[in-house]
C-alpha cells in the first residue's frame, strides 16, 4: 500500500517525518497478506539472510542466523525515559527523554539509506476488540515484518479500525545499518554495535524507539515494548493488568473448566506449561497464551484475560516430543527459526531436540560446520543452537489451542501462578493465605538468569518480581501498590471471593548432585490438579509459616520419585526461608524506598514471626 492511500492525517504526517529523518530508498505500508509475507522472505533469501528448510519436512519454513552480538534482549540498553527518573524507579535504566530523543535522532538520521521503510499497522489483541491496542511499527527489517505477521495481527484491517483519528502507539525501529551505494547485506545480519543499541520507551507519550538490534523483543515491538512496558503504564492508569503470563485452560476429569495464568521469568517454562500434555489421567490442558496476559475486571466482578499476541516466539533448545509435543507440532510448517543448527537434510536441530543429527556434518548457529551430534546433546562447549535460539510460529497451528483463545471477552481467571528457577528453598507449590500475601509472593519472586537476556549474570539468582523486572514501564514500588489496590477494590465491592487464588510453584529444585528433583513438564499436571481443586477449597493442604502446602499424599508422586523426595519438595525449609526473608529485608525491599507498600513489610514481619515461632 502507498503512503498517499492512508486515511489518517496524523499517521501520514508521522510517517513523512520519519521518512525525512531516516532517508529510506522506498516506503511501503504493510497490508498483512500472504503475498506480502512471501515478498519479505524473498527479499531475505536474496540478501542471503534466510535459508529455506527442506520443503517436504518443513514446508514454508526458514532459518536465520543472527549476528553473534545480537542474540537476545539487551537489558542494559533498555530504557524507561519518563520525565522524572523517580517514575522509572530503581529497577529500570533511565535517561531524560529530551536527551535520549536527541541522541537517538542523531542515530536515526539517515539510518535507512539503501533500505526500504516498512510501516506495520498491528493490533495487539483481536482486531477491533475493546481490549485490543493498535501499534504502528516503522522498521527497515523485512525479518521484523515477517515475524510481526506471525506474532501480531497486521495490515489493512487494522487501518480500517484505526479510521482517520484513532489512537495508536508509534514505534520506531531500525537495525542501524544503512547501506552505501551498491552495498548489500550479503548474508551478514544487519545490526549496530552494542553501545549504539537503544530500546527506549517514553511512557508519558506512549512512544517506543528502538535502534540497533534486529532480535526478538528488541525489535518485534508489539511484544515486550508495547504489550508489557507501555501497556503496564496504561494498565496502571486505567485499572487493569498487563503481565508476563501464560494463560491456560484446564479441564478436570469431571468436565469442569478453569483458566489459570502464570508468571515465570524468561526461559523458565511458560510456553511449556501453556501446552502441557498431562500425565494425570482424565485431565486436559489447552493453550490460550504462552507469554503475555492482559486482564480486566468484568461486570460480574471476575478478572478476564486475553492473549494480545497471535503467535509463539518460543525457546527452541529443550523442546522435544517428550517435553513439549504440542510445540513440536506447532512448528512443522510456516515457521521462522532463528539461531538453530542446520542438518545435512535441510532441517533444524538443537540441543535436547530428542534425536541426533543425520549425516556427517551440521552447521551451527554461527554458520560453522561441525561434526553431526550422534545423540541430542552436543559435546560440552560445542553449542550447535544458541541457548536463546527461537521459533516464531502461528498460535493457530498449536493442536491444543483453546477454541476461545481469540474471544475478545477473554477468559475468567481462577488462579495466578508465580515461579522461577530456584535450586533450593522454594517448595514445589505453595498457596498464599490471601491476596496481599500473594502479592508479597509475587514481589519476592527470584530466578536464575537465563540466556534470554544478554548478561554476565546468567545462572545467578536475581529477584525478578512478578517476572516483570525487565518489563515494567514504571516504578516497581508503584506496581506492587497497583496490585494491592486492585485486590482491595474487589474486596470493597464484595467481590473478594472472585479474585484469583495465588500460588507459588518451583519446578527447578536440585539435589546435592545438581540434578532436578522434580521431573517437571507433563508431570506438572499433578500440581495443576492440586491447584485446580484448591480453587474450590478442595484437596488436602497444611498450613505452614510460608503458606498452604499440599499434605503428604495430596499430590501423588510421579513414577521414579520417592516419598522422601516428595516430602522434601513439599515441606518448609525453615533455615532456608529465614535466609530468604533476611535477604528480602536487607537487599530487595530497601531498593524501592518509601514506594514499597507498607502492606508488604507487614507480610514480611508476619512471615518472619511465624518462622521464628
Binding site for Mn ion (CB under 5 A): 266, 291
Q: Is 289 near ligand SPV (CB under 6 A)?
A: no
Q: Is 484 near ligand GTP (CB under 6 A)?
A: no
**Nearest distance from C-beta of residue 166 to ligand SPV, angstroms:** 26
Interacting span for ligand SPV (CB under 6 A) from 171-179, 215-223, 372-380, 440-448:
215-223
The nearer residue to ligand SPV, 197 or 223, going by C-beta atoms, is: 223
**Nearest distance from C-beta of residue 208 to ligand SPV, angstroms:** 14
Instruction: Note the maximum CA span of the chain.
Output: 75
Nearest Cα neighbor of 43 from 142, 165, 156 is 142
Q: Is 266 near ligand GTP (CB under 6 A)?
A: yes
Q: Is 612 helix (H, G, I), strand (E, B) or coil?
A: helix
Q: Kindly write out the interface string for residues 249-278 of this chain, putting x where it contacts ligand SPV by CB under 6 A and - elsewhere.
A: -----------------x------------
**Nearest distance from C-beta of residue 313 to ligand SPV, angstroms:** 5
Other Cβ atoms less than 10 A from the Cβ of 275: the count is 28
Q: Is 392 near ligand GTP (CB under 6 A)?
A: no
**Nearest distance from C-beta of residue 395 to ligand SPV, angstroms:** 14
Q: Is 327 near ligand SPV (CB under 6 A)?
A: no
223 binds, among ligand GTP, Mn ion, ligand SPV, none (CB under 5 to 8 A by kind): ligand SPV
Grid cell of 305 as nine digits = 484475560
**Nearest distance from C-beta of residue 271 to Mn ion, angstroms:** 9
Q: Is 507 near ligand GTP (CB under 6 A)?
A: yes
216 binds, among ligand GTP, Mn ion, ligand SPV, none (CB under 5 to 8 A by kind): ligand SPV
Return the H-helix or E-strand segment holding 305. Answer: strand 303-306
Q: Is 576 near ligand GTP (CB under 6 A)?
A: no
272 binds, among ligand SPV, ligand GTP, Mn ion, none (CB under 5 to 8 A by kind): ligand GTP
Q: Where are the beta strands (DSSP E) in 376-420?
A: 390-394, 411-419
Region label for 117, one of left (φ > 0), alpha (ψ between -120 and 50) or beta (otherwise): beta
What b/e readout covers 352-386, taking b as 16+ CB neighbours within 10 angstroms? bbeebbeeeebbbbeeeebebbeebebeeeebbbb
Distance CA 23, CA 542 (A): 65
**Nearest distance from C-beta of residue 216 to ligand SPV, angstroms:** 3
Among 222, 318, 373, 427, indicate the residue that binds ligand GTP (CB under 6 A): 318
Nearest Cα neighbor of 468 from 488, 500, 442 is 442
List binders of ligand SPV among 441-460 (CB under 6 A). Answer: 452
**Nearest distance from C-beta of residue 99 to ligand GTP, angstroms:** 31
Grid cell of 435 as nine digits = 491476596
Task: Please give the positions annotated as active site.
Answer: 268
Q: Is 291 near ligand SPV (CB under 6 A)?
A: yes
Other Cβ atoms less than 10 A from the Cβ of 151: the count is 28
Q: Is 177 near ligand SPV (CB under 6 A)?
A: no
Among 62, 313, 391, 479, indicate the residue that binds ligand SPV (CB under 6 A): 313
Distance CA 122, CA 225 (A): 13
Write the CB contacts of 403 (distance below 8 Å, at least 6 apart in sequence).
Answer: none
Distance CA 605, CA 577 (A): 13
List binders of ligand SPV among 67-86 (CB under 6 A). Answer: 73
CA atoms within 13 A on the CB side of 85: 7
Interacting span for ligand SPV (CB under 6 A) from 216-224, 324-332, 398-406, 585-593:
216-224
> What residues does 136 pair with on adjacent strands?
121, 170
Q: Is 516 near ligand GTP (CB under 6 A)?
A: yes
Distance CA 570, CA 578 (A): 17
The nearer residue to ligand GTP, 133 or 509, going by C-beta atoms, is: 509
Q: Are 419 and 505 in contact (CB under 8 A)?
A: yes
Q: Measured between alpha carbons, how far is residue 284 from residues 3, 250, 537, 550 in Å?
A: 48, 6, 20, 21
Q: Is 218 near ligand GTP (CB under 6 A)?
A: no
Q: Is 261 near ligand GTP (CB under 6 A)?
A: no
Distance CA 413, CA 403 (A): 16
Q: Are 524 and 507 in contact (CB under 8 A)?
A: yes
Q: Is 229 near ligand SPV (CB under 6 A)?
A: no
The nearer residue to ligand SPV, 460 or 562, going by C-beta atoms, is: 460
Distance CA 229, CA 223 (A): 9
Interacting span for ligand GTP (CB under 6 A) from 22-30, 52-60, 120-128, 515-523:
515-523
> What residues does 234 pair with on adjacent strands?
none
**Nearest distance from C-beta of residue 556 to ligand GTP, angstroms:** 17
Is the dihedral angle over the CA atoms 313, 319, 322, 325 positive or is it negative?
positive
Q: Is 386 near ligand SPV (CB under 6 A)?
A: no
DSSP state of 401: B
Q: How many residues bind ligand SPV (CB under 6 A)?
A: 9
The nearer residue to ligand GTP, 141 or 323, going by C-beta atoms, is: 323
Q: Are 517 and 466 in contact (CB under 8 A)?
A: no
Nearest Cα neighbor of 501 from 565, 433, 401 is 433
524 binds, among ligand GTP, ligand SPV, Mn ion, none (CB under 5 to 8 A by kind): ligand GTP
Among 66, 141, 210, 271, indicate the residue that binds ligand GTP (CB under 6 A): 271
Chain residues that interact with ligand GTP, rule: CB under 6 A: 264, 266-272, 290-291, 314-315, 317-318, 323, 452, 507-508, 516, 520-521, 524
Q: Where along the sequence are the contacts to ligand SPV (CB under 6 A)?
A: 73, 216-217, 223-224, 266, 291, 313, 452
Amino acid at each position: 500500500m502507498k503512503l498517499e492511500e492512508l486515511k489518517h492525517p496524523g499517521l501520514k504526517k508521522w510517517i513523512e517525518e520519519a521518512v525525512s529523518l531516516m532517508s529510506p530508498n522506498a516506503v511501503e505500508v504493510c497490508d498483512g497478506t500472504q503475498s506480502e509475507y512471501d515478498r519479505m522472505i524473498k527479499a531475505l533469501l536474496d540478501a542471503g539472510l534466510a535459508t529455506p528448510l527442506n520443503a517436504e519436512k518443513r514446508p514454508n519454513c526458514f532459518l536465520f542466523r543472527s549476528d553473534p552480538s545480537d542474540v537476545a534482549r539487551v537489558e542494559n540498553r533498555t530504557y524507561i525515559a519518563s520525565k522524572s527518573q523517580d517514575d522509572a524507579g530503581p529497577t529500570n535504566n533511565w535517561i531524560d527523554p529530551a536527551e535520549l530523543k536527541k541522541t537517538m535522532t542523531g542515530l536515526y538520521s539517515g539510518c535507512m539509506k539503501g533500505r526500504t521503510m516498512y510501516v506495520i499497522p498491528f493490533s495487539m489483541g483481536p482486531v477491533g476488540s475493546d481490549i485490543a491496542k493498535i501499534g504502528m511499527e516503522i522498521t527497515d527489517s523485512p525479518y521484523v515484518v515477517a515475524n510481526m505477521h506471525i506474532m501480531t495481527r497486521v495490515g489493512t484491517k487494522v487501518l480500517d479500525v484505526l479510521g482517520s483519528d484513532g489512537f495508536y502507539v508509534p514505534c520506531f525501529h531500525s537495525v542501524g545499518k544503512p547501506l552505501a551505494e551498491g552495498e548489500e547485506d550479503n548474508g551478514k545480519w544487519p545490526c549496530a554495535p552494542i553501545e549504539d543499541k537503544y530500546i527506549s520507551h517514553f511512557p508519558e507519550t506512549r512512544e517506543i524507539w528502538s535502534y540497533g538490534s534486529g532480535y526478538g523483543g528488541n525489535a518485534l515491538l508489539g511484544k515486550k515494548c508495547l504489550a508489557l512496558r507501555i501497556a503496564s503504564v496504561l494498565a496502571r492508569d486505567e485499572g487493569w493488568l498487563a503481565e508476563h503470563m501464560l494463560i491456560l485452560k484446564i479441564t478436570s476429569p469431571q468436565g469442569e473448566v478453569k483458566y489459570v495464568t502464570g508468571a515465570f521469568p524468561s526461559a523458565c517454562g511458560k510456553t511449556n506449561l501453556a501446552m502441557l500434555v498431562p500425565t494425570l489421567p482424565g485431565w486436559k490442558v489447552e493453550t490460550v497464551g504462552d507469554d503475555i496476559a492482559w486482564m480486566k475486571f468484568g461486570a460480574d466482578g471476575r478478572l478476564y484475560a486475553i492473549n494480545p499476541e497471535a503467535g509463539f516466539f518460543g525457546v527452541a533448545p529443550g523442546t522435544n516430543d517428550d517435553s513439549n509435543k504440542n510445540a513440536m507440532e506447532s512448528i512443522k510448517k510456516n515457521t521462522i527459526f532463528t539461531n538453530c543448527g542446520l542438518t545435512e537434510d535441510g532441517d533444524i536441530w538443537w540441543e535436547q531436540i530428542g534425536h541426533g543429527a543425520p549425516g556427517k556434518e551440521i552447521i551451527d548457529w554461527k554458520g560453522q560446520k561441525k561434526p553431526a551430534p550422534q545423540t541430542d546433546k552436543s559435546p560440552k562447549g560445542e553449542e550447535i543452537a544458541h541457548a536463546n535460539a527461537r521459533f516464531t510460529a502461528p498460535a493457530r497451528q498449536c493442536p491444543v489451542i483453546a477454541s476461545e483463545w481469540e474471544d475478545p471477552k477473554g477468559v475468567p481467571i481462577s488462579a495466578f501462578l508465580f515461579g522461577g528457577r530456584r535450586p533450593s528453598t522454594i517448595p514445589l507449590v505453595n498457596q498464599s493465605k490471601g491476596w496481599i500475601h500473594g502479592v508479597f509472593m509475587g514481589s519476592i519472586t527470584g530466578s536464575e538468569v537465563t540466556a534470554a537476556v544478554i548478561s554476565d549474570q546468567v545462572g545467578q539468582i536475581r529477584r525478578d518480581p512478578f517476572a516483570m523486572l525487565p518489563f515494567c514501564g514504571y516504578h516497581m514500588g508503584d506496581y506492587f501498590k497497583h496490585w494491592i489496590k486492585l485486590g482491595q477494590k474487589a474486596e470493597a465491592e464484595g467481590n473478594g471471593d472472585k479474585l484469583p487464588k495465588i500460588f507459588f510453584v518451583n519446578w527447578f529444585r536440585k539435589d546435592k548432585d545438581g540434578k532436578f528433583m522434580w521431573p517437571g513438564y507433563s508431570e506438572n499436571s499433578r500440581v495443576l490438579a492440586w491447584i485446580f481443586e484448591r480453587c474450590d477449597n478442595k484437596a488436602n493442604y497444611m498450613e505452614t509459616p510460608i503458606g498452604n502446602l499440599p499434605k503428604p499424599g495430596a499430590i501423588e508422586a510421579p513414577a521414579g520419585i520417592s516419598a522422601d523426595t516428595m516430602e522434601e519438595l513439599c515441606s518448609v525449609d525453615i533455615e532456608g526461608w529465614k535466609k530468604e526473608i533476611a535477604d528480602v529485608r536487607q537487599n530487595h525491599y530497601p531498593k524501592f524506598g518509601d514506594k514499597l507498600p507498607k502492606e508488604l513489610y507487614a507480610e514480611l514481619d508476619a512471615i518472619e514471626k511465624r518462622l521464628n515461632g
